[in-house]
Structure 1
């Protein structure tokens, strides 16, 4: 099993701060009035999970089993300790600052988010939080995606969605990926909001969660097209890359897992 470590990123006077610690600090500094005196339960031994953003009364969780299946694959394929109980956060409190990875999914248009949620999401992303947006619509530019673009414009009005270059570290943070495949393949590129080279939010129209989802009997919920089971495998690999990226701030491309890359290229690795 490949050894995976959370990246130390922000130098402090007496040590280092990783993404999770930075988010906690941001929550306490920026939302102190919201949760006075609250202690965040994310010590060094805390297990990683992904939080779902509950942004509406309905339609916010079209693939309810998907993130748990992805987390099981993360635990199986890496040394990251995971918690498969995926929490839902409403974006109106500081709860989302306990999680470095936040997922927003949907398959239909939704109403504008409350102003407080917009402000909290802005603080979350600017403080190091990573937002993954996954469309279950099966089309590249449906009503859900239009709603997402509208809300990202409110959250970060000074930034625009732009295509992610194929050589971005997201595509090689664990696996070497050449295209963003999900349940469907309706777009060959994902888009993101950048802060210099750091991804604040990634938007995928290919229904990644649809490729990850299983039913209670362990069967895949949805068929994958056009590439079948190999495409499903690539969707899982991309999801694991998302997790690896979300656990680091300012990930350096030249520090990605070299032994794994060499092995993929069939070179000898001791």
Structure 2
């Protein structure tokens, strides 16, 4: 699909009068999967990092991909791509996911790629599986962000942020069934956090455990009163068009 046609397609989906900006192609395609750039508008990339446990919520990517196919006309790669954060190929991804509930302590290569990716137009959705604000993942990840982007870079997103209207309309971050189950901090977090670079959100950070919320057998989706993966569509569409 040519860039102009893709922009027109996205504009129609988000209902805007003018075509939104596609994910910034700030990186040369060297080392990127050729079929991903040639055949698909979107592919899901999970980031593996040396510390902690990155391979959580294993069914979540398939549910997110299914919703993108159901609700949008994007050409979506059905496969999850797992890349090491230290691998330069992650710089080619239109969207990256990083999660876990243990220690986050990046090595030098991981820090370099994470910062370069975000500063050059990339988008990382980071989800704390502990769904709390003072657990090991939260404290260690936030310390990494302070080291890379400054102590005040990670801030609360207002509930009228464009993220909440990039496709479906939300009044703020949807709650999850895990926030009041006694496993986390027993709070419903009425905000998400993020890091903006030049006015664009490059890191979206959640303590709400969306990964677990969307990690279910797809056959159980029919029993949901409302599809809880719709917010995942917003996150991806914001990543592609902001």
Under a length normalisation based on structure 1, what TM-score does the superposition of the two structures give?
A: 0.72
Task: Please tell me whether the aligned partners of residues 194 and 201 of structure 2 are also in contact (alpha carbons under 8 angstroms).
Answer: yes
Q: In structure 1, the residue corresponding to 2:97 is in which secondary structure?
A: strand
How large is the RMSD of aligned CA atoms in angstroms? 2.5
- Residue 103 of structure 1 and its aligned partner are, at CA, apart by 0.6
- Find out whether 1:200 has 2:205 as its counterpart: no
- Residue 48 of structure 1 and its aligned partner are, at CA, apart by 1.1
Out of 30, 55, 73, the residue aligned to residue 79 of structure 1 is 73
Out of 190, 193, 200, the residue aligned to residue 192 of structure 2 is 190
Pairing 1:187-266 to 2, within 5 Å after superposition: 187-215=189-217, 218-219=219-220, 229-230=224-225, 233=227, 235-248=228-241, 251=242
- Residue 148 of structure 1 and its aligned partner are, at CA, apart by 1.0
Task: Tell me how far apart the structure 2 counterparts of residues 239 and 189 of structure 1 sit (CA, whole Å).
Answer: 16
Task: Tell me how far apart the structure 1 counterparts of residues 33 and 102 of structure 2 sit (CA, whole Å).
Answer: 34
Task: Please tell me whether the aligned partners of residues 46 and 81 of structure 2 are also in contact (alpha carbons under 8 angstroms).
Answer: yes
2:23 corresponding residue in structure 1: 19
Q: Say how many residue pairs are matched.
A: 217
Task: Tell me how far apart the structure 2 counterparts of residues 62 and 134 of structure 1 sit (CA, whole Å).
Answer: 10
1:152 corresponding residue in structure 2: 145
Gaps of at least 5 residues in structure 1 are 10-17, 29-36, 221-227, 252-270
Task: Tell me how far apart the structure 1 counterparts of residues 32 and 63 of structure 2 sit (CA, whole Å).
Answer: 29
Residues 39/131 of structure 1: CA separation in 2 closer, same or farther (3 Å cut): closer
Gaps of at least 5 residues in structure 2 are 1-7, 12-18, 180-187
Under a length normalisation based on structure 2, what TM-score does the superposition of the two structures give?
A: 0.80
Question: Residues 164-207 of structure 1, C-alpha deviation per residue, up to 9 Å, x if partnerless?
Answer: 11111100000101132234343110011112431010111111
- Find out whether 1:64 has 2:58 as its counterpart: yes
